Amino acid sequence: MALIGSRPADGDVASRLVVLADQAAEAEEWIQEQQLLLLATLGMSSAAAGRVLKAPWGQQSGRPGMIYMLAEALTTSDDHAALETAQVFIGAKSEHFGLVILSAMWARRDELATEVRARLAKVVLEQRQTTTEPSWILDTFSGLTLCDRERAILEGLHRGDSTRMIARALNLSPRTVEAAISKMLHRYGCASRVELTALNLLAR
């Protein structure tokens, strides 16, 4: 069953998949169990992820090991480790698994440390720019795209303009410009304007 590009199961379906996976395990149909738990895990089912982490095949190499890595990344409290796992998947041409992890992290981005949020935004932006396959997951990263005003303000920052210069050029108040910059700094996890411009958002 192809998973690339497929949408995850919703909550009710994911719960049913876990039940079917349990039945497959009882019948010692391990491959079927793996597939069902994978589909449910992609649907963000914590029950499915928990089953994967306890499964006897979880430490095997190949596809079982990948499913285990996915479940571990979706349940760990170590955000750095989860992000690294996502990048490993992406680097290994398993973008779908990596994007699922990134999507789960993005859904709770306000809880992430600034450094992690910055890395997360950078990885997602890179994927948007380099991916060759259409992915519905990339469309779920709301808030990453610059609006026209933000783009104009960022262009000013790239030129080295001060807040007042940008405000004057755009016919805005300095306070409005400052608020927009602060919002972008928070969104992309940047500690300074220098870090914000270094993301090269205007090229994305």
Q: How far apart are CA 180 and CA 15, in angstroms?
A: 42
**Quick check: is 188 in a domain?**
yes
**Quick check: is 5 in a domain?**
no
Domain encompassing residue 189:
148-203
* Contacts with 116 (C-beta within 8 Å, 6 or more apart), sequence order: 79, 80, 83, 105, 189
Domain identity same for 76 and 49: yes
Domain identity same for 125 and 32: yes
**Quick check: is 197 in a domain?**
yes
Domain identity same for 69 and 99: yes
Domain identity same for 28 and 101: yes
> pTM to 2 decimals?
0.75
Domain identity same for 21 and 52: yes
**Quick check: is 185 in a domain?**
yes
Domain identity same for 16 and 68: yes
For 96-122, the pLDDT digits (tens) are 899 899 988 988 887 888 788 888 888
Of 107, 100, 125, the residue nearest 184 (C-alpha): 125
For 57-95, the pLDDT digits (tens) are 988 889 999 999 999 999 999 999 999 999 999 988 888
For 13-38, the pLDDT digits (tens) are 888 888 999 899 899 898 999 999 99
Domain identity same for 132 and 90: yes
> Mind spelling out the 3-state secondary structure of 80-93?
HHHHHHHHHHHHCC
Domain identity same for 166 and 66: no
For 122-132, the pLDDT digits (tens) are 888 888 777 76
Stretch 189-202: mean pLDDT: 84
The structural domain count of the chain equals 2
